[in-house]
């Protein structure tokens, strides 16, 4: 995966920095509050306006007032593909990152590092402390549905470097995974 060529590199949070692999992203989707402090300047991505405010306020309060942060918030964009949906759980930043990449309409998308918390090496390869499972606010079926829906709207070339994600999408598309729409909260 080290020899992947790209025009725009997107990452999630900042744990990847410790491994020294693909360390110059153009955009980083933020879930962890300290990511804007840990990552070199780039565009920071947020799923919601509320999360954007939390992170930017923390950044400001920690004395980084003079640093200008460029950011993108999916909720602020006319995201017609997802704006009407009330998810049963929040999609992870990885799923939102893929949906955002699709909306940018590149010729080719390469997806790596999204294993749906099924990698036998753990949540973050090389780190044994973190439990290799979704946080309670996220769910595998929601991530799969969001990713599958986004990729179904994409006309370009998709290369998936994560065997777990590729297998899960194939299972979902073949009917091995129940449901063909994004799980919603009952109204």
Q: How do residues 86-125 score in pLDDT, each as one tens digit?
A: 667 788 889 989 998 998 899 999 998 887 766 666 666 6
What pLDDT score does 98 carry?
93
Give the C-alpha distances (Å, rounded to integers) separating 117 from 2, 75, 95, 113. 21, 25, 13, 10
**102-141 as b/e: b if 16+ CB within 10 A:** bbeeeeebbbebbbbbebeeebbeeeeeeebebeeebbbb
What pLDDT score does 169 carry?
93
Contact present, 70 and 44 (Cβ < 8 Å): yes
How much of the chain, in percent, has pLDDT values that exceed 90? Answer: 25
Can you read off the two tokens belonging to residue 167? 């297998």
What pLDDT score does 87 carry?
67
Claim: this prediction has a pTM higher than 0.85: no
H-only helix segments in 26-72: 35-38, 49-61
DSSP 3-state helix, strand, coil percentages of the chain (rounded to 5)?
30, 15, 55
Strands (E), 66-183: 70-73, 108-111, 157-160
In this prediction, the residues of the chain whose per-residue pLDDT falls under 70 are 1-2, 63-67, 78-87, 117-135, 176-187
What pLDDT score does 187 carry?
30
Domains of the chain: which residue ranges?
1-77, 79-187
Query: Hunting for tokens 């309060």 — which residue is that?
Result: 61
Overall residue count recorded for the chain in this entry = 187
């Amino acid at each position: 995966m080290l020899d992947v060529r790209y025009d725009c590199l997107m990452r999630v949070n900042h744990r990847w920095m410790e491994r020294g692999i693909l360390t110059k992203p153009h955009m980083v989707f933020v879930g962890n509050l300290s990511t804007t402090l840990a990552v070199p300047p780039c565009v920071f991505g947020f799923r919601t306006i509320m999360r954007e405010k939390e992170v930017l306020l923390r950044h400001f309060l920690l004395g980084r007032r003079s640093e200008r942060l460029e950011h993108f918030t999916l909720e602020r964009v006319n995201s017609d593909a997802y704006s009407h949906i009330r998810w049963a759980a929040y999609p992870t930043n990885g799923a939102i990152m893929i949906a955002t990449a699709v909306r940018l309409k590149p010729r080719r998308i390469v997806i790596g590092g999204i294993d749906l918390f099924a990698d036998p090496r753990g949540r973050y390869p090389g780190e044994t402390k973190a439990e290799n499972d979704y946080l309670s606010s996220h769910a595998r079926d929601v991530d799969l549905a969001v990713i599958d829906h986004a990729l179904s709207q994409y006309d370009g070339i998709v290369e998936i470097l994560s065997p777990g994600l590729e297998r899960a999408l194939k299972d979902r598309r073949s009917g091995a995974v129940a449901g063909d729409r994004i799980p919603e909260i009952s109204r």
